Structure 1
Amino acid sequence: MPRSRAIFEKVCGVAERSLGCSFALDYHAASDEGVFEPEVLAARARREQASTASFLEATRKLHTLADFHAWLFQTHLCYAVARQGEFGVQAADDVDAKALASY
């Protein structure tokens, strides 16, 4: 939930500044209880925390929807068409195997 919240708050914040509107969002997290073994959940939590920090740093200087759009579709690995050849290619030790088990 923290990463989803950070993303929505960033997008809504730039939309509010760009469009002059406001959003009221509520966040409701689902329970992870019993879904995975505790060590898998802990590894996933660490990965999510790192991903949240990475997102916040990458988008820190984006203040308009145009800025966010350009970053998302030119830079972000999952959405940048020019980077499609990189998707799914990473060193095996880049991702904790226990975290991968949660996907």
Structure 2
Amino acid sequence: MRFGIHAERVWPFRLDGVAYPVSVRGRRIANNGDQVRRWALDGHGLCLKSLRDVRDDLDNGRLVEVLADFSAGQVALQIVYPPTRVQPRRVRALMEAIIEGLR
């Protein structure tokens, strides 16, 4: 199971600073990370998800972490909004809430 839109994808595993890119193919592809999580919960196979997304499932035994010694590394997060001379307060508040939530 994979997140994305392409039939083939590389999972970027790292161990002790050494990259081990692994090509994966699957029968299930989604552009919605929660759908990939649901497929994993339903027993359809392995998935590569942020620990933040599945921590509760791991803590409560609904999912099991495999390859724990390997890290997929960090993923950049971007917030995109239209350019304006004055940034709306709600945009700034959203950005601050996201930043705080990720700490």
- TM-score bucket of the superposed structures, by smaller chain: under 0.3
With normalisation by structure 2, the TM-score equals 0.25
Q: Which has the larger radius of gyration?
A: 2
Higher RCO, Cα 8 Å, sep 6+? 1
Structure with more helix by fraction: 1
Structure with more strand by fraction: 2
With normalisation by structure 1, the TM-score equals 0.25
